[in-house]
Chains A and B, each alone.
Chain A
Amino acid sequence: MRFVLRRLGFFVLTLWAALTVNFFIPRLMPGSPLQALRDRTHNKLSPAALEQMLTSYGFKPNQNVVVQYLDYLQNMVTGHWGVSIGATLGEPVTRVVRQALPWTLGLVGTATILAFALGSLIGIVAGWKRGGRLDALLPPVFVVTSALPYFWVGLLFILVFSVWTGGLLPSDFNYDPHLQPSLSLGFAGNVLLHAVLPAGTIVVTAIGGWILTMRNNMITTLAEDYVRMGRAKGLSNGRIMTTYAARNALLPNLSGFAMSLGFVISGAILVEYVFNYPGLGYLLYNAVQNTDYPLMQALFMLFTVAVLVSVLLCDFATAWLDPRARAKG
C-alpha cells in the first residue's frame, strides 16, 4: 500500500511540475502570444475578438499571474483545452487531438512493440551463443544503426523504395487522398501500405538498442549461479535459455520498454514530419509553426501524462513480476 501511495504521489507531483513548466515557458520567454496572434491574423480581427480567443484558452494578459495559473491548471485537468488558433482555427483542441491520436498509436505503437519483441529475441539468441557468428556480427552493426538520425533513415527509405522504384511504396500521408475511409479490405490494405516505410524507419533505428542491452543482460545473467544449477540438473539448453536466463534478463529492459511506450505518442515527430503522416507529432510540429498555443499546451500535457502512466504501470508490473523490487519498495 505504501508502495502504491508513493508511486501515485510521484505521479501527481511530476504532472504538476510538467504543467507548471508548460505554463511558465511561454510567459518567461521573449515575445508574447498576443503579439504573435496579432501578427498571424494581420490585424484583421478586432482586439476584442483576439482577447476573446485568448481568454478561451485561459490566457488573460491583464490578470494576476497567480489567478491565470490556477485557472490554467483547472482547465488542463478538467479537459477544457480551449480552441485551436492555428491552421485548424476555431476547432476545439479535443477534436483535433482525437483525429490524430489513432494514427500515431497505430503506427508508432506497433513499430515500437515490434522493435522491442524482435530486438529482445535477437539479443537473447546472440547473448546465448556467445562468440558465435551472430554475436560477432551484431553488436558493431547495431551500435552504428542505433546512432543513425531516424529522420535520415526515413529519407533514405523514401529514396530507395519510393523515388528509385517509381513509387513502389508510398512516401506520403496515411492513405491515398482520393480514397474514402471505410472498413473495406482495400482501404485497410492502403493504410498498411502507407505505414510500411515510416514503421520500418522506426524499427530499424530502435531495434539496435534493444538487441545490445538484451545481449548484455543475457551475458550477465548467464554467469549467475542458478543458471549453472540448471545446467548441473541436466536441463535442456532451450529450457535454460528461455525460462532461466531470458526471463531474468528481460526484467531490467521492461522499464525501458515502458518508457518507450510512453514516448510513443510524442516520440516520432520527425518520422511523421518526413512522411507527412497526420499523427500527433505532426500536429505538434504544425502547432509550433502556427503558434497555436492551446494545441501545443494540450499536446505537451498529453505527452507527459502518457509517459507518466506507462512508468506507473511499469513500476507495478515490475513489483508484481520481481519480488526483489517489491522488497526494496
Chain B
Amino acid sequence: MTALLVDTSPVTGAPSPVRHRAGGGLWTAVRTNRKALTGLVIFLVFCLLAVAPWLFTPVRHPNELQFLPALGLSREHPLGTTTLGQDILAQLVYGTRQSLVIALVAGLFATVLSVLVGVSAAYLGGFADDVLSMLINVFLVLPTFPLIIILATYAGKGSLLVILVVLVLTGWSYGANQLRAQTLSLRNRDFLESARVRGERRSYIIVAEVLPTMTSLIVANFLGAALYSVLTAAGLQFLGLGDANSTSWGTMLYWAQSQQALQSGLPLWSLAPGLCVALLGASFALINYAFDEISNPALRPVRRPRARRRDSGGS
C-alpha cells in the first residue's frame, strides 16, 4: 500500500545543504528576503501584543460590558464599542494571545507528530511502513473540516484543549506524507550508509543524521500547520463551536455575526478580528514562501545579483 499520494506530492526544495548555513547564513538570507522580513515583522508585532497586551490599551477586562453600546470611533475607543458595550480594540489586543497560542502549540505538536510518523515510516520500511503510510493516507483523505466540526461538537463545545487536540489530529498528515517522501529519497545516501557501517544505533541515525538534513522541510511544515491552525480555529469559533466567553478573534467574529454587525453599521467589529487572523496567517505564509525561495534558489526572484553572490558564497 505504498502511498498513491506520495508519488505526486511536491517536495519543497531539493535536499539542499541547509546544515552548513544554519547559523549566520540563514539570518542573512532572511534579512535580504523582503517577504521573509515582512512576515517576521508582522509575527513579532503579534508576539508583543500577546505577551504584553496592557501596553496597547487602557482597558483591563475586555469582555466586561462596561461601556455604552455601539459607540463610533473616538479617542477613548479607537475602534468603537460593540453592541454589547465592549471596547473593540481591547478585545482585539487581548484576543491575540489565544490565537497565537493555538497557532504555535497546534503547529508544534502537529509537526512533531508528522516527523515521528513520516520519518519512522520511511526509515523502518517493510510492514511498519505499510501500516504507517496507510494511516497517513487515511487521515489525508478524511474531510477535515466536517470531521473537526463533528469532533468539536461531540467532545463538548468550548475548551481550548479540545480545539488544540482536534487541530493536531487533523493537521499532521500532510506534513507526514512530505517528510516520508523526503526520507525515502535520503535512505540510501552514502552518509547514512556510512553511519550504519559505523554501527550507530537507529535512533541516533534518525535524530542526528536524517533530521538535520530536513530542517527546511520541517520548518515549512511547522509554518503550514500553524497557518492551518489559525484559520481553522477562527472558523470553528466563528461557527460558535468555541467557548463563547473566551477572548479571541474567532469569538469576536462569532459575536459580531450573531449581533449582525455588518448590517447594523458596526463593520469594524467584524472586519478587525478577521483582518488580524488574515495578517497572522499571511505572516506564516510569507515566511514559508520565503523559506521555499531560500532553500530552492531556482524560485528566487531574478535581477538580484548582489544577494545571489553572497548566498552562493555561503552555501
Contacts and interface: CB of A to CB of B under 8 A. Distances in A.
Interface of A: 6-7, 9-10, 13-14, 17-18, 21, 25-26, 29-31, 130-131, 135-136, 139-140, 143-144, 146-149, 151-152, 155-156, 158-159, 163, 212-213, 216-217, 219-220, 223, 252, 254-255, 259, 262-263, 266-267, 269-270, 273, 284-285, 288, 291, 296, 299-300, 303-304, 306-308, 311, 315, 318, 325, 328
Interface string B186-206: 000000000000000000000
Contacts of B313: none
A255 B8 contact: yes
B7 A14 contact: no
Given A155-B270, A220-B298, A269-B145, A300 B286 contact: no
A304 B301 CA distance: 40
B79 to A, nearest CB: 15
Nearest to A268: B145
Interface in B250-276: 253, 257, 262-263, 267, 270-271, 274-275
A217 B142 CA distance: 27
A131 B302 contact: yes
Nearest to B241: A288
B156 A30 contact: yes
B154 A10 contact: no
Contact of B7 (A152, A262, A325): A325
A216 B138 CA distance: 28
Nearest to B256: A155
Nearest to A222: B298
A288 B149 contact: yes
Interface of B: 1, 4-5, 7-10, 35, 134, 137-138, 141-143, 145-147, 149-151, 153-156, 227, 231, 234-235, 238-239, 241, 253, 257, 262-263, 267, 270-271, 274-275, 277-278, 281-282, 284-286, 289, 292, 298-299, 301-303
Nearest first, the 10 closest Cβ-Cβ pairs linking A and B are: A152-B274, A147-B281, A303-B143, A29-B154, A147-B285, A131-B302, A255-B8, A266-B143, A17-B138, A147-B282
Given A25-B150, A29-B155, A149-B234, 5 more contacts: A131-B301, A131-B303, A266-B146, A291-B153, A318-B8
A273 B285 CA distance: 26
Given A149-B278, A159-B262, A144 B285 contact: yes
A314 B145 CA distance: 22
A310 to B, nearest CB: 9
12 contacts: A10-B4, A17-B138, A29-B155, A143-B285, A144-B286, A147-B282, A151-B253, A155-B274, A158-B262, A217-B10, A259-B141, A266-B143
Contact of A13 (B1, B149, B231, B302): B1
A148 B283 CA distance: 11
B141 A308 contact: yes
Nearest to A30: B156
A50 B133 CA distance: 42
B281 A148 contact: yes
B166 to A, nearest CB: 11
Contacts of A155: 257, 262, 270-271, 274
Nearest to A265: B143
Contacts of A6: 1
Given A144-B286, A255-B5, A270-B238, A10 B137 contact: yes
A304 B267 contact: no
A139 B146 contact: no
B151 A31 contact: no
A300 B302 CA distance: 46
Nearest to A16: B138
Contacts of A311: 4-5, 141
Contacts of B301: 131, 135-136, 139
Nearest to A131: B302
Contacts of B263: 163
Given A18-B142, A148-B278, A155-B271, A269 B299 contact: no
A126 to B, nearest CB: 12
A284 B128 CA distance: 36
A266 B145 contact: yes
A201 to B, nearest CB: 13
A163 B235 contact: no
B48 to A, nearest CB: 21
